[in-house]
Amino acid sequence: MKSTRTCITCFVVCSMLLLAFSNIFSRHPWDLDPPNVTTTTGSKNPENPRDTLQGGLLAKAFDQKSCLSRYQSSLYRKPSPYKPSLDLISKLRSYEKLHKRCAPGTESYKRATENLHKLSDGSGEQCQYIVWVPLSGFGNRILSLVSVFLYALLTDRVILVDQRNDINDLFCEPFPDASWLLPLGFPLANQIDRFNWRSPRSFGNMLKHHRLISNSSIKSFQTSYLYLHLVHNYGEYDQMFFCQGDQSLIREVPWLIVKSDNYFVPSLWLLPSFQSELTKLFPKKDTVFHHLGRYLIHPTNQVWGLVNRFYNAYLSRADERLGIQIRVFHRAGFLQLVLDQVVSCTQREKLLPEAQEEEPPQVNISKLRAVLVTSLNPEYSNNLKRVYWERVSSTGDVIIGVYQASQEMHQQRNKKLHNQKALAEMYLLSLTDNIVTSAWSTFGYVAQGLGGMKPWILYKPENYTVPDPPCGRATSMEPCFHSPPLYGCEADTGGTDALKIASPFVRRCEDRVSGIKLFDHRQKL
C-alpha cells in the first residue's frame, strides 16, 4: 500500500514538472496567445479589489483601452505598502493642468516656440519648458526621464520628450488630454543631436565664459534656451547645475534642453530651495522613483501584450516568484563564476533551496516557485534550469521553474523591438516577490524601483573570483546616481564628502562607492 502511494506521488510530481517545463521546450514565450487579463492572480477576488489608481497617483481621465497597462498593472503585483503623500497627489494634479495649458497645440506653446530665437530673460513668459532627449542605454533613459520630470515638477516647467527614437512605441502618454511628445517641427529639432558641452548655448560653456547680462544687481543669461549637459562625463561648469546660485540663473530661461544618462535625483535633494518641497512630496525618502516611475512609465499595448502573455504563461500560477537580473560589464558572453555567484547568493539567502542528486525519502510537493532570469545570454538560465531539472530541492517540497523571456546576446541601442523587450522584462522583474540584481545595472534599478523592492545586489567580482559574501541586501530601493558632481559650490569642499553635513538622507550607494542615493534613515553606510 505504501509503495502504491509512493508511485502515485511520483507520478503526480512528474506530471507537474512536465507541465511546468513543457512550454520552455516548445514555443518562445513572446509567441504565446494572450490570455484574458482576468485570469491574473488576485484580480477575480471581489473581497480584495485592486487599487487601479495606485493610491491616487493616477488620474481617472484616461480611456482604459488606449493604454491597458495604466490600470491593469495593479492586477499583476501586490499592493504597494508605500502610499503616495497627499502633497504629491496634489502636485501631480496641478502639473496635469499646467501641462494641458502649455502643451503642443496650445497658444502658449505657439508663442513660446516663436520666441525661441529671441533674447529673453524669462519675464512675462506664461509657460516654461524642459525638453528631454534620450541618451545611452534603455535603463539609463528611464532613470534620466524620471529625474527630468521631478525637476519639472519642482520648477513648474512642462516636460516634453524627443519622439524621434520610438518613444511613442514604448510608453503611453502619461498626462490627460495633452501630449508630452515634442513636435517634429520643433524649431531646434535639427540642432538637438549636435548639442554637447562645447555648444555655444551650453549652460556650462556660457557660465565658463561669463556670458551673463547684469541688470542692476541681478545677473541673467538673457537667452531663450539653454542646453544642459548632465552626462556622466560632464565637466566642472556643467556640474554647477547642482548649485543653488546657478539654479537662480537657470530659472529665468524659458526653454531647457537636457541630455543625461544619470539618475540625478539625489543631488536635487542637496539644493536648499528644493529640500522643503521634496520632503513634503516624499516623506519616505526612498520612494521617489517608486512613485514617479509608476506614475510616468506605462508600457504601450504592444509591450503590455508581451508582459501579459509571459506572466500568465509562466509566473501567474507560482506560489513564489523570484527575479534574477544578470548583467556582465566589460566582457560579453557567459562567465561560469557569475553563475556560481548567482547560485551561491540565492541559496545562501534562502531565495532558492539547495539541489541534490537523490530524492528525499518523502516527496510532498507544496509550492511552485517561478524564477525569472533576465540576461543578454541564455547560458545562465539554461544552466540554472538544468540544476533543478536534473535534481530536486533538498526539502523535496518545492518545484522550481526557471524561465527567460529573451536572449538578445548584446545590447542594441535605438532598436525598437529590442527596447520593447527590455521594457517588458523590466516590468516582469518588477512583478516578482523578491529580486536579485547586478551591481551598477540601471536595468535592475528600474525593476526594483517599479516593484518597490530592496534587492539582493550581486557584488562585482574581483580577480575572477566569486565575492565573499556573493551578495548583500540593499537598504534602499532607490536607484544610484553613478556620477554625482565632483566640484563644490561657492568654493566649498564639494564632492560626496559634503553629504555629511548637507543631507542625512543622501549617502553613498551600496554597489558603487563613488555614487550617491537616497535612504530613508540616517544610518551611515
Assigned domain for 92 exists: yes
Place of cell 573570483: 465
Assigned domain for 266 exists: yes
Domain end, chosen from 268, 296, 324, is at 296
The three-state secondary structure class of 444 is helix
- Residues 461 and 454: their CA atoms lie apart, in Å, by 21
Q: Give the Å distances, CA to CA, from 249 to 203, 271, 390.
A: 10, 14, 65
Number of domains in the chain: 3
Exposure string for 489-520, b = 16+ CB within 10 A, e = fewer: beeeebebebbeebbebbbbbbbbeebbbbbb
**362 and 425: one domain?**
yes
**307 and 285: one domain?**
no
Domain end, chosen from 276, 296, 316, is at 296
Alpha helices in 218-287 (DSSP H): 244-250, 265-268, 272-281
**257 and 177: one domain?**
yes
The three-state secondary structure class of 518 is strand
CB 448 within 8 A of CB 475: no
Residue 513 — φ and ψ, nearest 5°?
-70, -20
pLDDT digits (tens, 9 = 90+) for 475-491: 999 999 999 998 767 54
CATH code of the domain covering residue 461 = 3.40.50.11350
Domain end, chosen from 263, 296, 329, is at 296
**147 and 282: one domain?**
yes
**70 and 97: one domain?**
no
**59 and 13: one domain?**
no
**212 and 289: one domain?**
yes
**93 and 198: one domain?**
yes
**280 and 387: one domain?**
no
Nearest to 392 by CA among 7, 13, 65: 13
Nearest to 252 by CA among 203, 209, 292: 203
Q: Residue 85 corresponds to which cell in the numbers above?
A: 503623500
Beta bridge partners of 321: 370
Query: pLDDT tens track of the chain, all 525 residues?
Result: 444 444 444 444 444 444 443 443 334 555 444 334 333 443 434 345 678 888 899 998 888 889 999 999 988 888 899 999 999 999 999 999 999 999 999 999 999 999 888 765 555 568 999 999 999 889 999 999 999 999 999 999 999 999 988 899 999 999 999 999 999 999 999 999 999 998 989 999 988 887 765 454 456 677 899 999 999 999 999 999 999 989 988 998 999 999 999 999 999 999 999 999 999 999 999 999 999 999 999 999 999 999 999 999 999 999 999 999 999 876 667 889 999 999 999 999 999 988 766 655 555 667 889 999 999 889 999 999 888 875 555 556 778 899 998 765 556 566 788 899 999 999 999 999 999 999 999 999 999 999 999 999 999 888 888 899 999 999 999 999 999 998 767 544 344 445 554 578 999 999 999 999 999 975 444
Q: Give the domain extent around 56.
A: 31-75
**322 and 466: one domain?**
yes
Determine whether 259 is exposed, middle or buried from the number of CB atoms within 10 Å of its CB (0-12, 13-18, 19+).
buried
**What are the strands, taking DSSP E only, across 424-495?**
434-438, 456-458, 471-473
Assigned domain for 482 exists: no
Assigned domain for 155 exists: yes
**What are the strands, taking DSSP E only, across 28-134?**
129-133
Cβ neighbours of residue 470 closer than 8 Å, sequence gap 6 or more: 341, 342, 344, 345, 348, 458, 459
**53 and 164: one domain?**
no
Assigned domain for 122 exists: yes
Which amino acid is residue 304, in one-letter code? W
| Long-range contacts, 488-495 (Cβ 8 Å, 24+) | 489/240, 489/242, 489/243, 489/244, 489/245, 489/246, 490/243, 490/245
CB 310 within 8 A of CB 29: yes
The three-state secondary structure class of 52 is coil
Nearest to 68 by CA among 405, 403, 427, 368: 427
Half-sphere exposure of 226 (CA within 13 A, CB side): 29
What is the 3-class SS of 308-372, one letter each residue?
Answer: HHHHHHHHCCCCEEEEEECCCCCCCCCCHHHHHHHHHHHHHCCCCCCEECCCCCCCCCCEEEEEE
**354 and 277: one domain?**
no
Assigned domain for 372 exists: yes
- Residues 343 and 470: their CA atoms lie apart, in Å, by 9
The three-state secondary structure class of 457 is strand
Assigned domain for 342 exists: yes
Which amino acid is residue 271, in one-letter code? L
The radius of gyration computed from the CA coordinates of the chain, to the nearest angstrom, equals 25
Assigned domain for 146 exists: yes
Q: Residue 273 corresponds to which cell in the numbers above?
A: 530651495
